[in-house]
Chains A and B, each alone.
Chain A
């Protein structure tokens, strides 16, 4: 991307028309100013610039398509039946159509984060100097923006610099979206390569958004000991006026806190949040409270506790205005992306808006000025709290009402047939009708809060509210803690763990990310995170998964954030923050290449991705991935060569990227020292895979942390965990151990007696450990002696 730059500075100029002093005009961005690192081959890359790298990965990890149906319905030629090898009217085949759908999902996700970043940066530049410095960790963080450095080849110093990055992202997103039009791209692998591109852009967008808000709002700056904050419905004091904020874009919520501080109302109102706005708000003010992940929207609102609901953008339910009306709570929409059909009152007098909301003249308003939201929200919540005392505000039935509802149930099964987790609601209702509410209360634990059961019940039983009623004691007992999102990983932390990770002696970095579409409730995420923290992996978390980890207490009553440290080091559970903070997870892998291995980042994507893929044993786990944003985040990890595991609902992304461990020929790398091709085994075996159960996921995590670069000590440690977990959870010995043993030195010492006979039967090998690369360009000594 070529950018012209003009910078004019006049200290003093006089003419007949007048005089000018200290005039400073800057147009465009001067690339790479004050950065002596050599520029790599792909600054500001378009899709084609990294297509070869993508195809290298895709030749090893081939797509498996799992279509929802046989049809394409995207244009008026259709519907077209693509089953059995048939092509649509436009000529597209089933595989290309499925990869096109994946591209659309990744584009929606990436556009959402990039737009989020644009919104934040525009908002901040209205309030602050363009020259406001980016600061994500003071002297502890020199590599402040690893994704931007790597992809764009620029080192952003100020908030204004981020506009250049956003311009690039927006132009690339437009190209990618255009490729999905009828009669454009036709090849499945080229679609997949574009998916990777969308993912990479997404991670840059994430980074823009988070480093902007960390710098501008003074959020925790790479702090391992960020404070513990309250989490759970049981932590909220409903005696106070309660504001609920939902979404991802935090400025309106921050202005609520600021207004309450300025008017001496801190501590007198409860500011509570759901989803990532909640996480980011607690990074700004640890006294704010997180209710829970996105699936807590209905249950919390129906409890009647919130006096006012403020929504911004992303993952906000589309029926919140109705739900808010049912509990007599006004709603304020604050984002142009989610106007909710409300009248825009941005330019109106706050007194008038508050009066209209309190009187019920309007059910809600749209206010696009965060500062005004702050004032209107606090004043409305204070008044609403008083007026709601005289109204019925909870739509959760009493126990007696619930039993009467349950008696209506005829067992038609329509609720179960609408439930994503097929929960046994009719059986539980039957029990509830007899007064036994425990089966319904059990379902509360696995309910994802979608409310589809309500809509299909022909007896008009408020099923979701009934679950909450049955689980009343549990709900009140939801009193947990989560460590506030710390933001970036410090350079010194990377220096300390870079070696052990690359050599395999810290067995892996496991990132628990993504939404709350869990197959069996939130506790499975906590269980997995604790397992790997106890095994001295580095467990990293963000977003709804970070909350899910916090919603657990061990036998000593500790939440995982109290039980484990927050450093990016073996045995830690590290909450980086919200969805946009996922950039720091990819950033940590990139920083290992930069800080530990001294590789150049600047516009040098392919080399760094090759480094990460072959050396950094990292795995993403999106156990409840639901959104297009999660698809884009995953795609950003794939292009960096980091595998991602999703839960069973994640199969609905309709495409996996699977390696074949039975194909020896797929698993060769170059030894960069000699140029020789070396067979390294299936490491890592997959790039994107669904696990059916948490047990399968845990085994996969351990297995997918293996890398060609592992030292024998590192490999034996990784295999110890893999085999130990497999034996414990599967109840048998894995049948593929021989594929991961390169020489006798790789055999876990404590398992030698057990493994040797198996390995001898399969043929124990003695292969070298190469300095691995997939890139010919990284071979230092070419065959024939030239170097």
Chain B
């Protein structure tokens, strides 16, 4: 399969298409540039059992190492929390996109709007529309799709990948987050 075309064949994006995440270092670099990142997770985080474990580990690592708040859509908050992840907010998928396009929104913590959205666990066709709504409504906000299907409406997306290859990429990302965090702590301790 070709990596950089819409996963659902009939979906056609437009003039501006997501860049492909070729390696986890790209994500780390994007995070470094971001002042206010947010993770949003959809119901497939739990309902797609193939992805659940690794997605939970990934968002936990983001939370632990970068302190990124996590917002869950649909009904999965309780199940995610049972797996040890702290959820900072629960909103419907439409509600969160509506707020993310509002420059006056105070955010989940009252500190203001987000500039980077990391997303995972949405069905492809719903994710397509959520990203499009955000792309049009908040053009300055960067969107990163972490699912293994190429999303042209995101700013950055993984290419279409087989599950095992995608899992390997996410493992590398988790490892990188962990390593970087450890190094940072060591540097801080040394200082």
Q: Taking the nearest CB of chain A, how far is it from the CB of B32, in angstroms?
A: 25
Check if A71 is an interface residue, CB within 8 A of chain B.
yes
Partner of A693, one of B11, B43, B82, B137: B43
* A64-B137, A689-B94, A692-B42 known; A732+B13 contact, CB < 8 A: no
User: Are the CB atoms of A66 and B125 closer together than 8 Å?
Assistant: no
Query: How distant is the Cα of A412 from the Cα of B162 in the complex, in angstroms?
Result: 11
Query: How distant is the Cα of A109 from the Cα of B125 in the complex, in angstroms?
Result: 23
Partner of A69, one of B12, B75, B77: B12
Check if A660 is an interface residue, CB within 8 A of chain B.
yes
User: Are the CB atoms of B90 and A735 closer together than 8 Å?
Assistant: yes
Which residues on the B side are within 8 Å of A83 (C-beta)? 14-16, 135-136, 139
Which residues on the B side are within 8 Å of A699 (C-beta)? 75
* A651-B94, A693-B43, A696-B92 known; A68+B9 contact, CB < 8 A: no
Partner of A66, one of B7, B16, B123, B132: B132
Check if B168 is an interface residue, CB within 8 A of chain A.
no
User: Are the CB atoms of B82 and A731 closer together than 8 Å?
Assistant: yes
Residue in chain B with minimal CB distance to A98: B136
Q: Taking the nearest CB of chain A, how far is it from the CB of B98, in angstroms?
A: 5
User: Are the CB atoms of B129 and A651 closer together than 8 Å?
Assistant: yes
Which residues on the A side are within 8 Å of B7 (C-beta)? 417
Which residues on the A side are within 8 Å of B97 (C-beta)? 64, 66
Query: How distant is the Cα of A64 from the Cα of B79 in the complex, in angstroms?
Result: 29
User: Are the CB atoms of A67 and B132 closer together than 8 Å?
Assistant: yes
Which residues on the B side are within 8 Å of A71 (C-beta)? 14-15
Give the residues from 120 to 145 in chain B that come closer than 8 angstroms, CB to CB, to chain A: 122-126, 128-130, 132-133, 135-137, 139
User: Are the CB atoms of B43 and A422 closer together than 8 Å?
Assistant: no
Check if A51 is an interface residue, CB within 8 A of chain B.
no
Partner of B14, one of A70, A414, A729: A70
Q: Taking the nearest CB of chain A, how far is it from the CB of B132, in angstroms?
A: 5
A-B contact pairs, 21 of them (CB 8 A): A64-B97, A64-B98, A64-B133, A65-B133, A66-B129, A67-B132, A67-B133, A68-B132, A70-B136, A84-B16, A422-B8, A651-B94, A651-B126, A654-B129, A656-B94, A656-B98, A693-B43, A732-B78, A732-B90, A734-B90, A735-B90
Query: How distant is the Cα of A414 from the Cα of B8 in the complex, in angstroms?
Result: 9
User: Are the CB atoms of A70 and B15 closer together than 8 Å?
Assistant: yes
Q: Taking the nearest CB of chain B, how far is it from the CB of A534, in angstroms?
A: 19
Check if B157 is an interface residue, CB within 8 A of chain A.
no
Give the residues from 675 to 698 in chain A that come closer than 8 angstroms, CB to CB, to chain B: 689-693, 695-696
Check if B155 is an interface residue, CB within 8 A of chain A.
no
Give the residues from 682 to 718 in chain A that come closer than 8 angstroms, CB to CB, to chain B: 689-693, 695-696, 699-700
The 6 closest A-B pairs by CB, nearest first: A731-B78, A70-B14, A695-B75, A692-B74, A66-B129, A66-B133
Partner of B123, one of A69, A422, A658: A422
Query: How distant is the Cα of A67 from the Cα of B133 in the complex, in angstroms?
Result: 6
* A68-B132, A651-B129, A696-B75 known; A418+B10 contact, CB < 8 A: yes
Which residues on the A side are within 8 Å of B8 (C-beta)? 417-418, 422
Query: How distant is the Cα of A729 from the Cα of B78 in the complex, in angstroms?
Result: 9
Check if B95 is an interface residue, CB within 8 A of chain A.
yes
Give the residues from 73 to 88 in chain B that come closer than 8 angstroms, CB to CB, to chain A: 73-79, 81-82
Residue in chain B with minimal CB distance to A94: B136
Partner of B125, one of A648, A700, A730: A648
Which residues on the A side are within 8 Å of B14 (C-beta)? 69-71, 81, 83
Query: How distant is the Cα of A656 from the Cα of B95 in the complex, in angstroms?
Result: 10
Check if A649 is an interface residue, CB within 8 A of chain B.
yes
Interface centre among B9, B11, B94, B122 (most CB of A within 10 A): B94
Check if B93 is an interface residue, CB within 8 A of chain A.
yes
Q: Taking the nearest CB of chain B, how far is it from the CB of A634, in angstroms?
A: 15
Check if B1 is an interface residue, CB within 8 A of chain A.
yes
Q: Mark A653-681, 1 if CB is under 8 A from B, else 0.
A: 01010101010000000000000000000
Which residues on the A side are within 8 Å of B133 (C-beta)? 64-67
Give the residues from 625 to 670 in chain A that come closer than 8 angstroms, CB to CB, to chain B: 648-649, 651-652, 654, 656, 658, 660, 662
Residue in chain A with minimal CB distance to B46: A693
Which residues on the A side are within 8 Å of B9 (C-beta)? 414, 417-418, 456
Which residues on the A side are within 8 Å of B89 (C-beta)? 735
Which residues on the A side are within 8 Å of B136 (C-beta)? 65, 67, 70, 83-84, 94
Q: Mark B18-46, 1 if CB is under 8 A from A, else 0.
A: 00000000000000000000000011000
Q: Mark A34-74, 1 if CB is under 8 A from B, else 0.
A: 00000000000000000000000000001011111111000
